[in-house]
Amino acid sequence: MENGPNKYRMAAQGTRIELYNGTLKVFTQVPAAIELCKYFRESYLEKHSILKSPEATHSNTPESVRVEACEDFEKDPRVQGLWKKIINSAGVHSPLSYACWDRVRLRIQQSDGGYDNVSNELNSTGRFSSTLPLHRDTWASNVMQQLNWWTPLLPIDKDRTLAIYPNFFEKPVPNTSQQWSMKELKNHRKKNAPYPQLPMFDVNCNVVGLEPMQKEDKDAFFQELNEDAQPILISPGDVIVFSGAHLHGSVVNKTGKTRFSTELRTVDALDVTEERHARNIDGHSPGVQYKWFESIGELGEDEGIDKGVRLDRLVEKIKTT
């Protein structure tokens, strides 16, 4: 019978395998997530009071206000420390020393903004995005061990949240990953030229392994897509974790209210080393973006995200140990 650290390691591994197979995990009323919500209300909404105004919308709020709030939140050591506690308490990564993350994000989705212009430099590599169209994160990263963590900071509803399409987890969809690359994104950003920050769902796109759709096929496809949409309805203090291979996107906010949420992504270095992961069914972009992720460190360590060990180097260290 397993006991001690090995028992927790195997339990965490089993949870990750479930996630790689498409399971959605919701952890309810996580103490560190509750504390994070309280800290956001008291420290960020008070400082950026225009954001909590009932009249505030995407069009009448200066972009600089949203950017400043996001930058402050994402660099805040206390926010990072609370997220570390959230990840540790979920037991998805055990030991925590093998877990890597990208960076904390704050999403401020105000009403009437529509979908983000993903070719806008402001949204490069996902920075300051608020309403992303349908996508799989793995179309860009090709890191099939990637797990997405998402939690609302204030109450949400079905018209201002995240939507996941669970029946499409193992069903290929047309997308632009075949024409997209991280190298080209960086080249365009250096020239201040537009380029999509991520590959996108595109029903008119020809993809390897998929037959081009006729009009009647597209109509049936969109009907199936709409019927499968699962708005995520969880409370502040709850955290949902799902594979980055899930098809998902923002619900366009037309409610007149703002959605505040925070998220990040994790990868377990042991799973990279031992090749446990979700299946890639329709991603075709070149390269694997292990360098996006750095080690979290053990609970109680105070280093920030930018001081971790890069995932690819951690994997090499494990292999040679």
pLDDT tens per residue, range 39-77: 999 999 999 889 988 888 888 888 889 999 999 999 999
More reliable by pLDDT, 141 or 127: 141
Strand partners, 267: 100
The packing angle between helices 77-90 and 31-39, to 10°, is 160
Residue 266: the pLDDT is 98
**d(Cα 108, Cα 67) in Å, to the nearest integer?**
9
CATH of domain 10-320: 2.60.120.620
Q: CB atoms < 10 A from the CB of 227, how many?
A: 9
The arithmetic mean of pLDDT across residues 277-295, rounded, is 95
Write down the pTM of the prediction. Answer: 0.92
Q: What is the pLDDT of residue 25?
A: 98
pLDDT-derived band of residue 303, with 50, 70 and 90 as boundaries?
very low
